Structure 1
Amino acid sequence: MITIRQLIPISALLLGSAFLLFAGGINGLILPVRGNYEGFSSVSLGLLGTGWALGYVVGCIMTSAMVARVGHVRVFGALCAIAAVSILSSAIVITPWAWITLRGLSGFCFAGTAMIVESWLSERTDPGSRGRVFGVYTMVNLGATTAGFMLLTLGDTTGFLFFALAAIFYCLALVPTALSNTSTPAPMVSVKLNLRALWRNSPVAVFAVFWVGVSNSAFGTLAAVYAQNVGLAVAAVALFTSIPILAGAVMQMPVGLLSDKMDRRKVLVAVAALALVADLAFILLAPEGTTLNYVLAALLGGSIYAMYPVIVAHANDHAEPGTAIQISGGLLLTFGIGSILGPTVAGWAMSEIGIRALFVVTSSAHGVLILYTIWRISRRVAVTGDSKTAFQPLNAGRTSSLQTVKLSQGEAADDGPEKPAVAAG
């Protein structure tokens, strides 16, 4: 257990992160809800997620160089200010292409600010307690994001209020770190995407994480649009988008413990099959009321948001010491590439076929993932229990960064120099 004394030195960082995620929760839900009210097409609303994912991937790649040039505090302050400008501009210029561009800018800012907070946390905690600190950090972020979603139930989403509140909390996020006397951390983690090396290490991980990126980003971006169009009120929409995230957090530990005891690829197939069941239920049952939609959202969220850490753990099972960050960071960027594609395809499908086409896209991604993973199981033996790395719960890709990888892996992040990875399943 982590003590209060251990949390005090990082309290400013945790508070700043909470403000960031609270603002991000408001930002992430007000745009599709308001955009749908303004009559934006499903294609345009899907492109909001594409823009965000593209900005996020670029932010993950570029932030370390920016920090090396001018320092953590200046970059963090600038990114918080730009994020505030972005959401305020969205309230002033209400057009799809302006929002897509601004959403990409907010994704870039979010990636950079998250990496800076996490590099500080990593620096301020010893390797032995990083896992516990990461757990606290994850719970703070989860609570703040959910609170940001639920705030929309308290006012009129057709006005300026929630854009202003998001901007206020983006600005507040820079106050704790600006006033903190915490020493500037060491240079940040930087990882280049090497698909060939990743594929040699684990074809299943690369293939699966791409399709999980497609499905998770499509659902994460357009779930609110689906909920509005089946007749749910704003309060119900906020709950519908919150339930999957909470279910995913609850499911990570039991799924992770199971994957530590058996072939992780089989666990991945089983979890993806549960997601496929939820996808098909959304399509075939066509739920209209809140209860069944909530139940299916919990089943889908508990499945899709538990797959990413299983994939990362599987890829790391055969990795040489010192390559964990390289592999996990590369998978994160591959997830990001899938996240760019998912909302675009799903938005187009919803526009052409109907609102439930969202789940046609996610079910297709899950079906392809299942078939390929089953084939790979037949081609390579499983990793034995003694050779496995320890499972680490992770944010569901979209809210992870290269620094998240380092912070979550504790002592593993401090291993020696990078070495080539050997083949996995």
Structure 2
Amino acid sequence: MNQIRPLIPLLVTAGILIGGNGLQGTFISLRALQEGFSPSVIGLVGTGYNLGFAIGCVYITRVIRSIGHIRAFSALAAIASAASISMVLLIDPFFWFLMRLIQGICFAGLFATVESWLNARVTNATRARTLSVYRFVDLGSVTLAQYLIPTVGIDGFQLFAIISMALTLSLVPISFADRSSPEPPDAVRFNVKTLWQISPLATVGCIVVGLTNSVFRSLGPVYAQGIGMSIAAIATFMSVGIFAGVVLQYPLGHYSDKLDRRKIILVATLGSLAAGVFIAFVAGDSTLLNYAGIFFFGAFAMPLYSLCSAHANDHAKEGQHALVSAGTLFFWSIGAVIGPLFASFMLDIFGPHALFIYMAAVLALFLAYTVQRMTVREGVPAEKRTMSFRNLLRTSTFFNKLATPPSEDKPENK
């Protein structure tokens, strides 16, 4: 514990940010419904956040290198806080889209700043423990934050104020961190053509994860309310799907390190496809059946991003692992921009169950594509892989560096 004590302020800051972001995603969708926004408009607002996140991923390194970690964090937290509280002042779809766009840019920068700072402070002795704490913070903060919604309610300005307060308070623990700001991070290169050349399957897989998982986070509350769930039940529905994401991460990752990763990608895709079909055609309006369905959907769908990243790294050459990290996040962002927008139009036309029909259709196409890729390219034998599976958060490219032991990343640290 003494070894990671200096990192506690950064981990607390990360917890506040992750919890506030998770709370905001669910709350905005529910509040938009109450304000009379159609599902397609809510999808557009969700797209604003994901578009902003993609922009932030590209440009944040330049900002940190220009003004340093603490100044970048302070500025972004202040802007995000102002954008959050301003949404209650003007209830307008275009204005909310713009504010969510700004929030997406800011959160991409905030996560990158914290994780870059953590990566600069972590040592080989503290890396594994820090990652374990970070993942616990991620899971716990997002899950607990969901229950502020039924506790406080979605009326009035209270939750807008709580989110704004959380962003402001995230400055407090980081202000007590090490007074010496770390060295600016190396510039992150985005070369989308290179990632496609390294692994078309991983590229398409990351887009598919964006097309599906981001839809659950943006429009899951709309689906749940559409089938008659209460606010408390909606919070549980979202929490179950998020929590389930850790259940199969390590079993699937373990077997993917020993077998052809594409077979495990097939298993995860098939499992999430089956869960989507179950929710769409079997669960109906039953709350318990929907809880069961979303648990299995989260358990199989959430690890897909990490599996696709690991598959891309299997084919990456020396010095290309940083490109893979940036590229997978970029392609995920593309899917996350398109997915909520397209799925929301289906919700508008066909009703709530169309959400999981859409996701099942996307996963079915990816399943077929994975099978096709297995016929045209040999898998990388386990003994020839330079990197093992890592459970990755889609927060910034620096999380990949934080999760990578130097022994597995020699080309980038030589």
CA distance in 1, matches of 2:91, 2:406: 47
SS of residue paired to 1:235: helix
Structure 2 equivalent of residue 358 of structure 1 = 355
Describe how 1:222-241 pairs up with structure 2 within 5 A.
222-241=219-238
SS of residue paired to 1:322: coil
Query: Identity of counterpart residues, as a percentage?
Result: 35
Structure 2 equivalent of residue 291 of structure 1 = 288
CA distance in 2, matches of 1:130, 1:322: 22
Structure 1 residues 83, 120: closer, same or farther in 2, change over 3 A?
same
Give yes or no for contact 2:58–2:190 (8 Å, CA) kept in 1.
no
CA distance in 2, matches of 1:331, 1:285: 34
Corresponding pairs, count? 413
Structure 1 equivalent of residue 191 of structure 2 = 194
Q: CA offset at residue 50 of structure 1? A: 0.9
Give yes or no for contact 1:25–1:147 (8 Å, CA) kept in 2.
no
- The answer as to 2:306 corresponding to 1:304 is no
1:284-330 residue CA offsets vs partner (Å, 9 max, x unmatched): 12521221010001011111101110101111012223321211211
Match of 1:279 among 276, 295, 301: 276
Letter in 1 for 2:403: S
Structure 1 equivalent of residue 403 of structure 2 = 408
Structure 1 residues 312, 20: closer, same or farther in 2, change over 3 A?
same
- The answer as to 2:218 corresponding to 1:221 is yes
CA distance in 2, matches of 1:324, 1:182: 31
Match of 1:13 among 10, 14, 21: 10
Structure 2 equivalent of residue 129 of structure 1 = 126
Q: CA offset at residue 135 of structure 1? A: 2.3
Letter in 1 for 2:297: L
Give yes or no for contact 1:212–1:365 (8 Å, CA) kept in 2.
no
CA distance in 2, matches of 1:100, 1:21: 20
Q: CA offset at residue 189 of structure 1? A: 4.3
Cα root mean square deviation, aligned: 1.6
Match of 1:269 among 259, 263, 266: 266
1:330-368 residue CA offsets vs partner (Å, 9 max, x unmatched): 111011011100000001111112111111221121011
CA distance in 2, matches of 1:42, 1:99: 14
Give yes or no for contact 2:30–2:222 (8 Å, CA) kept in 1.
yes
CA distance in 2, matches of 1:413, 1:103: 37
Structure 2 equivalent of residue 393 of structure 1 = 391
SS of residue paired to 1:5: coil
Letter in 2 for 1:404: F
Q: Structure 2 stretches of 5 or more lacking a match?
A: none
Give yes or no for contact 2:40–2:348 (8 Å, CA) kept in 1.
yes
CA distance in 1, matches of 2:412, 2:278: 48
Describe how 1:98-177 pairs up with structure 2 within 5 A.
98-127=95-124, 129-177=126-174
Give yes or no for contact 1:328–1:405 (8 Å, CA) kept in 2.
yes
Q: CA offset at residue 49 of structure 1? A: 1.9
Q: CA offset at residue 122 of structure 1? A: 0.7
Describe how 1:52-63 pairs up with structure 2 within 5 A.
52-63=49-60
- The answer as to 2:366 corresponding to 1:343 is no
Letter in 2 for 1:48: V
Structure 2 equivalent of residue 75 of structure 1 = 72
- The answer as to 2:25 corresponding to 1:28 is yes
Q: Structure 1 stretches of 5 or more lacking a match?
A: 420-425
CA distance in 2, matches of 1:80, 1:195: 29
1:194-231 residue CA offsets vs partner (Å, 9 max, x unmatched): 22211111111011111111111112110001001111
- The answer as to 2:75 corresponding to 1:51 is no
CA distance in 1, matches of 2:283, 2:274: 13
Give yes or no for contact 1:131–1:409 (8 Å, CA) kept in 2.
no
**TM-score of the superposition, structure 1-length normalised?**
0.94
Match of 2:380 among 366, 378, 383: 383
- The answer as to 2:256 corresponding to 1:255 is no
Give yes or no for contact 1:322–1:413 (8 Å, CA) kept in 2.
no
Structure 1 equivalent of residue 175 of structure 2 = 178
CA distance in 2, matches of 1:96, 1:302: 33
CA distance in 1, matches of 2:145, 2:45: 18
Q: CA offset at residue 17 of structure 1? A: 1.0
CA distance in 1, matches of 2:291, 2:283: 13
SS of residue paired to 1:181: coil
Letter in 2 for 1:391: F
Q: CA offset at residue 180 of structure 1? A: 2.4
CA distance in 1, matches of 2:214, 2:186: 24
Q: CA offset at residue 128 of structure 1? A: 5.0
Q: CA offset at residue 60 of structure 1? A: 1.0
- Deviating more after overlay: 320-329 vs 297-306: 320-329
